[in-house]
Amino acid sequence: LNFGETALSGTVTYDTDAEAFGFEGVANAYGVTAYLNGDDTDSLQNVGGEYVYTFTPGTEFTAGANYNLDSEDLNPTATMSFSF
């Protein structure tokens, strides 16, 4: 779903062998992406976000973090990418 500069999306999967559902919801606005995911036994396992800044075409800086609500692990990331 798009609402001007904001986009919402989601996915639901089912594993027939494990008989388990999984889901993820994603929101994008103004270069920021936020998400949450879980499954049928733990509806909210991870939350996170990311921001991408384009310096010039082919040069991007990305910063983000993932937080696992069960283990309370925070995993920040920062990358600079170049494409030629």
Q: What is the pLDDT of residue 4?
A: 85
What integer pLDDT is reported at residue 7 of this predicted model? Answer: 95
What is each CA distance from 61 to 14, 45, 57, 71, in whole angstroms? Answer: 35, 27, 11, 28
Q: What is the pTM of this model?
A: 0.79
Q: What is the CA radius of gyration of the chain?
A: 16
Cβ–Cβ under 8 Å, residues 8 and 27: yes
Q: Find all residues with CB under 8 Å of 23, minimum gap 6, and list them.
A: 10, 11, 12, 13, 37, 38, 39
Confidence at 3, pLDDT banded by 50, 70, 90: confident
Per the prediction, the chain carries an average pLDDT of 93
CA distance 82 to 84: 7
pLDDT computed for residue 37 by the predictor: 95
- Summarize pLDDT for 6-61 with one digit per residue, the tens: 999 999 999 999 888 999 999 999 889 999 999 988 889 999 999 999 999 999 99
Supply 78's token pair.
Answer: 């920062």
